[in-house]
Structure 1
Amino acid sequence: MTTTPDGGFGIYVHWPFCLAKCPYCDFNSHVRHQAPSQLQYANALRQELRYFAQYTKGRTVGSVFFGGGTPSLMEPQTVAAVIDEIASLWNLPASAEISMEANPTSVEANRFAGYRSAGVNRLSVGIQALDDVELKRLGRQHSVAEAIQAVDVARNTFERISFDLIYARPEQTHAGWRTELNRALDLAADHLSMYQLTIEEGTMFHKLYAAGKLEMLDPDYAADMYDITQEVTSARGLPAYEISNHAAQGAQCQHNLVYWRYGDYVGVGPGAHGRITMPDGQKWATTTHRMPEEWLLNVENAGHSIEEQELLASVMQADEYLLMSLRLAEGIDVARYEALSGRSFNNKRLSNLQELGFIKWASNNRLKVTEKARPLLNAIITDLSID
């Protein structure tokens, strides 16, 4: 039997369809005028899961995550079929976290009970803003009233709930963000994900920005909103356990921890990524085909739709582990990093970063980035990566 690797083992299921493409979104999401066949896609997801299961036999699944796209466009029976397939292929204990992303429209909120019956026990609601004007600017399909109602339904349906917010939006003020954030915390979710608005290439916002029709906040002014976020969430009992994620004690998203702790995860569905340690101990990165129709055809013909598969050398694994784990408040296991990289951190660079107050030892063998240095994370990682 293959043991579960360091960092845990999870399953990511990508549902790529949306009702509309948000102007800021660069995720692999697609709008189709004709709804896809739920049965056909459910069967294909199950088939691709079976393909990956042959390389990961005997593993215990700590988390399952339905992401997108908009997974709450899936019928509850589609979700149930996928969860049942996972349970048949791996060990899926009752304690496993099974998360789903959902939009808070009234239509999708009506499916919440069905998702809970299917096995979902944690819901992540994509609210993004608590202002109707801003929601329209962000291309969202719901109102603030619908969002609040959806959160109420979710809180009464699922064991745990989370929701997302976007800050540093055009014309947003510090006072406005502080008020909005406190209002969000009043909704009593035990987990919040908060992301600074960025302009991503290929999005509608990118086109508007390039044409001078969208003005972003001054970078320093926007950065102050990150500080406000840390201050308010800490005071309200939801400190950051990762740069963009905040949770009450014991409410961290277990699936995201698999990523940040550099565990293994199977990724199925169009454009899904995976990291899998094979029985021979080698670790592979996998990526499936992005286009839903091509993905579906490939799976039906070959059992999978892997487009890219890369063997990760130990040094590359070390780089990925450093990049991911230093995002966490708990920091990096130095012994694990040294075993993967075959080297120790440069003592002179460590001392310099400590003197600057950018890093500190969380324990005898765990190194972490300090709160004040989190906005400088990329530079710190680069510094630590140099011999």
Structure 2
Amino acid sequence: MSLALYIHWPFCLKKCPYCDFNSHVRDGVDVDAWQRALLADMAFEAEATGRRELGSIFFGGGTPSLMPPALVAGLIEQAARHWDFAPDIEITLEANPSSVEAARFADLATAGVNRTSLGLQSLDDNALKFLGRLHDASEGIAALDVAQKHFGRVSIDLIYARPGQSESEWQDELRRALAFGTGHISLYQLTIEPGTRFATDFRKGAFELPEDDLASTLFTMTGDMTRAAGLPLYEISNHARPGEESRHNLTYWRYGDYAGIGPGAHGRRCGTATQRHRKPENYLSAVTEHGHGMVEQRPLPRAEQAAEALMMGLRLAEGVDPAALARRFAITVPELVDADRIGLYERLGFVTRHDGRVAVTDKGMIVLDSLIADIVSPSLMDAP
């Protein structure tokens, strides 16, 4: 499997109340300093991985569409010097749909970006205000139109199961979104993450989330509608036209190697987990002092790798092959999965088995976390 490269740009114009990502608001950004730091951090990772085929680059954030296109181009050019680009390399940049950022799309495409993930989040102005977004629905649609003109592949993000949202309202909103014709769509149910402003508001009773039964109904309806539109679910929150799945994210979920640079970036390569300093200023200082932004570099025990590979693989509609995973990590199948529990959940309609693969059904995806916790072998979870 090809290597993937993740580049984190930590800056935003505003912190969204639901967001627990490593994002920061700053009055000014020294672009030259950031270019030097990211290039040095990238060189460190290239030394660690060796020269390999690079299948994808993902600029995440934060708000990467605030990056100067020249900086994006410089990072892509340097990556091409460190690694061998796959002939069909996927280069994705996350974008917010403000008019200021949309105007950069042509230059970003020229820089080498061939896929964008556009954070529309909603097509309803009131919902966008609740979510703390800086754009309105018409601005988002206009940005999408610009993106579709400049990038070969476009994905959009939407958040549903919002407070007060009915089944018919989400059905209408999703129908509109599918009509835009993008080949990929990420659909996330609103969750309350610790440390966010929404966590405080929710605790104070400022709003309520939909009941579990309604949330389950919305999830099932979402899968039915995307499947009918030719974009079936391929991961619990992601839907794509066949062939337009996010190759970068598939590397994560199939437990391939990925290098991560930039503040707070995680990586997993050559049996080692890596993490960078989260605070931008600490990251810059670390790179200046050490030549990289690393705060932790930890060898991954075989049992931990096997458990992670199994849990992430079960998020995918394609599922996992326990026997293949057992061979990969030099353990036995009973050490990896509880066959009796899999048999029980198959009878209950939560999982299927075919040609040695175990896959979670749509019904099972609704309770995925509980299901995974029960399927992974207790001996694996208890291993040091």
Normalised by the shorter chain, which TM-score bucket?
Answer: over 0.9
Give the aligned partner of residue 295 of structure 1: 283
Q: Give per-residue Cα distances to partners, 1:191-223, cap 9 Å, x unaligned.
A: 000000011111111111111112222222122
Write the distance in 1 (CA, Å) between the matches of 2:43 and 2:106.
Answer: 28
Write the distance in 2 (CA, Å) between the matches of 1:67 and 1:98.
Answer: 11
Partner SS state of residue 332, structure 1: coil
Write the distance in 2 (CA, Å) between the matches of 1:216 and 1:375.
Answer: 16
Matches within 5 A, 1:130-145: 130-145=123-138
Quote how far apart the aligned CAs of 1:386 are.
2.4
Task: Report the AA paired with residue 92 of structure 1.
Answer: F
Give the aligned partner of residue 73 of structure 1: 66
Q: Give per-residue Cα distances to partners, 1:330-371, cap 9 Å, x unaligned.
A: 111222321226121333223222211222223x23221122
**What's the TM-score once normalised by structure 1's chain length?**
0.94
Q: 2:309 aligns with which of 321, 326, 329?
A: 321
Task: Report the AA paired with residue 333 of structure 1.
Answer: D
Q: Does residue 369 of the first structure (1) align with residue 360 of the second (2)? A: yes
Q: Does residue 16 of the first structure (1) align with residue 10 of the second (2)? A: yes
Give the aligned partner of residue 217 of structure 1: 210
Partner SS state of residue 285, structure 2: helix
Q: Give per-residue Cα distances to partners, 1:263-286, cap 9 Å, x unaligned.
A: 000000000000011xxxxx0100
User: 5+ residue gaps in structure 2?
Assistant: 379-384
Q: Give per-residue Cα distances to partners, 1:249-302, cap 9 Å, x unaligned.
A: 11000000000000000000000000011xxxxx01000000001101111221
Q: Does residue 246 of the first structure (1) align with residue 239 of the second (2)? A: yes
Task: Report the AA paired with residue 315 of structure 1.
Answer: A
Write the distance in 2 (CA, Å) between the matches of 1:151 and 1:79.
Answer: 20
Give the aligned partner of residue 374 of structure 2: 383
Q: Give per-residue Cα distances to partners, 1:33-64, cap 9 Å, x unaligned.
A: 2x211121112111000001112112101000
Partner SS state of residue 251, structure 1: coil
Q: 1:26 aligns with which of 20, 24, 38?
A: 20
Matches within 5 A, 1:149-160: 149-160=142-153
Write the distance in 2 (CA, Å) between the matches of 1:380 and 1:207.
Answer: 29
Partner SS state of residue 31, structure 1: coil
Runs (4+) of structure 1 moved beyond 3 Å?
none
Contact 1:19 1:31 in 2 (8 A): yes
Root-mean-square deviation over aligned CA pairs: 1.2
Query: CA distance change for structure 1 residues 352 and 270 in 2, over 3 Å: closer, same or farther?
Result: same
Write the distance in 1 (CA, Å) between the matches of 2:339 and 2:156.
Answer: 41
Give the aligned partner of residue 348 of structure 1: 340
Quote how far apart the aligned CAs of 1:92 are.
1.2
Partner SS state of residue 270, structure 1: coil
Write the distance in 2 (CA, Å) between the matches of 1:290 and 1:55.
Answer: 21
Partner SS state of residue 268, structure 2: strand
Contact 1:194 1:245 in 2 (8 A): yes
Partner SS state of residue 189, structure 1: coil
Q: Does residue 206 of the first structure (1) align with residue 199 of the second (2)? A: yes
Quote how far apart the aligned CAs of 1:93 are.
2.9
User: 5+ residue gaps in structure 1?
Assistant: 1-6, 278-282
Give the aligned partner of residue 381 of structure 2: none
Contact 1:318 1:341 in 2 (8 A): no
Contact 1:205 1:214 in 2 (8 A): no
Give the aligned partner of residue 382 of structure 2: none
Contact 2:56 2:90 in 1 (8 A): yes
Contact 2:54 2:85 in 1 (8 A): yes
Quote how far apart the aligned CAs of 1:94 are.
3.7
Contact 1:329 1:369 in 2 (8 A): yes
Contact 1:361 1:368 in 2 (8 A): yes
Q: Does residue 122 of the first structure (1) align with residue 122 of the second (2)? A: no
Task: Report the AA paired with residue 135 of structure 1.
Answer: L
Write the distance in 2 (CA, Å) between the matches of 1:65 and 1:188.
Answer: 22
Contact 1:106 1:146 in 2 (8 A): yes
Q: Which range moved further: 221-230 or 259-268?
A: 221-230
Contact 2:109 2:151 in 1 (8 A): yes
Quote how far apart the aligned CAs of 1:227 are.
1.0
Matches within 5 A, 1:306-317: 306-317=294-305
Q: Which range moved further: 258-267 or 371-380?
A: 371-380
Write the distance in 1 (CA, Å) between the matches of 2:140 and 2:118.
Answer: 8
Q: Does residue 357 of the first structure (1) align with residue 349 of the second (2)? A: yes
Task: Report the AA paired with residue 342 of structure 1.
Answer: I
Q: 1:235 aligns with which of 218, 225, 228?
A: 228
